Copies of this chain bind each other. A is one copy, B any other.
């Protein structure tokens, strides 16, 4: 079923003509054309998207890391001990290189100190207020403007073809849920992410959930398929990522029977956004570059395949043709 809107708007307008765009259009046509051997019923049309670097920019720092840094500064007066304690000391001195040297353990310390201790509703409020004010250092815009326009078009195109779209990210689930609906049209219950333990309490007759300083689930790498299975309960048929943290997720999704779409966004446009891959730490993309194409995954060059990256760019439509709608 095509919606009226879908017929009127050129699909994937910010995608340049080429193999990447065609792979998306061809996949959607195969799985939604009744009578096609690859037809997939609506109930199984599930697509999963990594968030940082796939749906919005993650450079020079993932947005949630910027939040952590800002919260360490905001909370410092309540924690005089942080002046002498790493990695807090380094963060307060804006020495992120030293802070990063504390590795994953240091990152978890920082995350717990800035994400726990509040109720879930207080935390939601803190994130919403922060994100309304925060500005990206290069683009000088709010993070809600730094969603990738071509990916918003993919989300809309899939939903117009009755896909259910989910985020599956290493980012904090409650962090992302504060903006997933507004930024991507994805409701909170379709966000899968990392979480900390919460505890139910009744305070003065009012029930609350209190966020504990303990990791519950880290939704990255081989645990992305685990998160998908736990939250969604069936294998999606399309997966979109940008780093080797998404490798297992794309492998799991494309490992099922029937038509599948695996897609990797390659950050190769330093002029309009950022260029990074093999040496990028948390956002490293090496195995995906080496093995993805042979596995039939679509490799997207931001430079060549996206004629527009952000909605705020001056823009001339390059690609406006309708796809073949023949049944």
A211-229 vs B, Cβ < 8 Å mask (1 yes, 0 no): 0000010000011011001
In the complex, how many residues of chain A place their beta carbon closer than 8 angstroms to a beta carbon of chain B?
36
A177 at the interface (CB under 8 A from B): yes
Closest chain B CB from A239 CB (angstroms): 12
Known contacts A200-B226, A230-B195; is-contact A207 B120 (Cβ 8 Å): no
Q: Which residues of B contact A18 (CB under 8 A)?
A: none
Q: Which residues of B contact A226 (CB under 8 A)?
A: 198-200, 209
Q: Which residues of B contact A234 (CB under 8 A)?
A: 177, 188-189
Closest chain B CB from A252 CB (angstroms): 5
Inter-subunit contact B251/A202 (CB<8 Å)? yes
A231 at the interface (CB under 8 A from B): yes
Q: Which residues of B contact A187 (CB under 8 A)?
A: 43
A228-265 vs B, Cβ < 8 Å mask (1 yes, 0 no): 01111110000000000000100110010000000000
Inter-subunit contact A173/B233 (CB<8 Å)? yes
Chain A residues numbered 92-142 whose CB sits less than 8 Å from any CB in chain B: 120
Inter-subunit contact A251/B191 (CB<8 Å)? no
How many copies altogether? 2
A325 at the interface (CB under 8 A from B): no
Inter-subunit contact A189/B164 (CB<8 Å)? yes
Q: Which residues of B contact A206 (CB under 8 A)?
A: 255
Q: Which residues of B contact A36 (CB under 8 A)?
A: none
| Closest B residue by C-beta to A233 | B188
Most buried by B among A230, A251, A252: A230
A50 at the interface (CB under 8 A from B): no
Q: Which residues of B contact A223 (CB under 8 A)?
A: 200
A305 at the interface (CB under 8 A from B): no
A174 at the interface (CB under 8 A from B): yes
Given the complex of chains A and B, what is the CA–CA distance between A151 and B294 in angstroms? 51
Q: Which of B174, B200, B248 is close to A252, meaning CB atoms less than 8 Å apart?
A: B200
A181 at the interface (CB under 8 A from B): yes
Inter-subunit contact B174/A43 (CB<8 Å)? no
Given the complex of chains A and B, what is the CA–CA distance between A190 and B198 in angstroms? 20
Inter-subunit contact A43/B181 (CB<8 Å)? yes
| Closest B residue by C-beta to A254 | B207
| Closest B residue by C-beta to A174 | B233
Closest chain B CB from A235 CB (angstroms): 9
Inter-subunit contact B198/A248 (CB<8 Å)? no
For the complex of A and B, 6 pairs with smallest distance between CB atoms: A188-B233, A200-B222, A207-B255, A177-B233, A189-B232, A207-B252
Interface residues of A (CB under 8 A from B): 43, 46, 120, 164, 173-174, 177, 181, 187-191, 195, 198-200, 202, 206-207, 209, 216, 222-223, 225-226, 229-234, 248, 251-252, 255
Extra contacts, 13 of them, besides A198-B226, A202-B251 (Cβ < 8 A), are A173-B233, A174-B233, A177-B234, A188-B233, A189-B234, A199-B226, A200-B223, A200-B225, A206-B255, A207-B248, A207-B252, A209-B229, A209-B252
